[in-house]
Amino acid sequence: TTPMLAAIAGGKGISIGLLVKASEVFYGLSRVDTIVFDKTGTLTCGKPTVTDIDAVNGNVSELLSIAEAVESKSEHPIGQAITFYAQKEAVPKLQIDNFKAIPGKGVIGNLNGSLIIAGKPSFIEQSNIAIAEHIRKKISALGDEGKTAVLFCRDGNVIGVIALQDTPRPTGSQVIAKIKQRGIRTVMLTGDAKQVAAPIAKQLGIDEVHAELLPGEKATAIEGLQKKGCKIAMVGDGINDAPALAQSDVGIAIGAGTDVAIEAAGVILIGDRLIDVLNAVILGKASYKTMTGNV
């Protein structure tokens, strides 16, 4: 099928806001009654900043070097933020081999024969690494401040914690309010901790939140809503969103997102504007009526 371009009138005249991959997508859009959003990079700016660095042995420079080495190979916003911070601090460069990203969990790699594992606390525990009580307390305190804690481990020991904070998109609450005005339900799905996700959802006015989900579980959550009869448009940007985008009635990818998300979606927000999610649904409902002559 031929990709179709949809021009959406922006504030200053016409600008291309979204790309609809195939005409069937309009039918899907016309039926949407629930919009499901990923958090990081979709409802938030996706440009988290490093706020806290805690090295267990006190050597912050070494922790940042290791973090830069492994996270510079990640395309996740968290990886990019940590890399940006470490490079600004001009820490010594190290070389990671056998890098692997585990979507929704973290990253792993080898550094001079040592195994480096970085990611969320539950991923570290699953890797059979003990998290000391004082580190747990630190993670919980960071969560209370709305910060995401990433643990760095070397050869089975936690060597440090790096915390990040992301900000909701400035247009977020306005867009969510407009969506809800049309009687469409809003849901947030995230791999991040509930402590971090719930306040952001509340601030934006999102109806329902599901946190700590792995990529497959995001898809299962959508399937659960579909079984209740919901017609779902899912908006996401990451590799971790691809299964959910494929499962939903219409997948909508953030244009600045990863290739995997863009491939899995039927609509691409090339203008990177959250309001175009609603514009896509409005356009779908209008176009479908026009195409079927059912005005």
Stretch that binds ligand ADP, among 55-63, 76-84, 136-144, 226-234 (CB under 6 A): 76-84
204 burial (CB, 10 Å; 0-12 / 13-18 / 19+) is buried
One residue of 8, 53, 78, 244 binding ligand ADP per CB under 6 A: 78
Give the interface segment with Mg ion, choosing from 63-71, 123-131, 234-242, 275-283 (CB under 5 A).
234-242
Tokens 């005409």 belong to residue: 23
Neighbours of 44 (CB within 10 A): 21
- Tell me how far, at minimum, the Cβ of 284 lies from ligand ADP, in Å: 25
In the residue annotation, 38 being an active-site residue is answered as: yes
Distance of CA 25 to the CA centre of its chain: 23
Partner touching 66 among Mg ion, ligand ADP, none, CB below 5 to 8 Å by kind: none
* AA letter at 289: K
Which residue has the CB atom at the shortest distance from ligand ADP?
191
Residue 191 near ligand ADP by CB under 6 A: yes
Position 238 contacts ligand ADP (CB under 6 A): yes
Range 92-151, binding ligand ADP (CB under 6 A): 104-107, 118-120, 148, 150
Distance from C-alpha of 218 to C-alpha of 242, rounded to nearest angstrom:
9
Angle 204-205-211 (CA atoms, 0-180°, nearest 5)? 75
Q: Is residue 169 involved in binding ligand ADP (CB under 6 A)?
A: no
CA-nearest of 99, 261, 123, 247 to 191 is 123
Q: Please name the amino acid found at residue 227.
A: K
Residue 195 binds to ligand ADP (criterion: CB under 6 A): no
CB of 49 to ligand ADP, least distance (A): 14
Least Å distance, CB 96 to ligand ADP, is 12
What residues are paired with 222 via a beta bridge? Answer: none
Burial of 194 (0-12, 13-18, 19+ CB in 10 A): middle
192 binds, among ligand ADP, Mg ion, none (CB under 5 to 8 A by kind): ligand ADP
Residue whose tokens read 């579909």: 226
The answer to whether 81 touches 75, Cβ cutoff 8 Å, is: no
Stretch that binds ligand ADP, among 74-82, 89-97, 219-227, 252-260 (CB under 6 A): 74-82
Residues that bind ligand ADP (CB under 6 A): 38-40, 71, 74, 76, 78-79, 104-107, 118-120, 148, 150, 190-192, 238, 240
Residues that bind Mg ion (CB under 5 A): 38, 40-41, 237-238
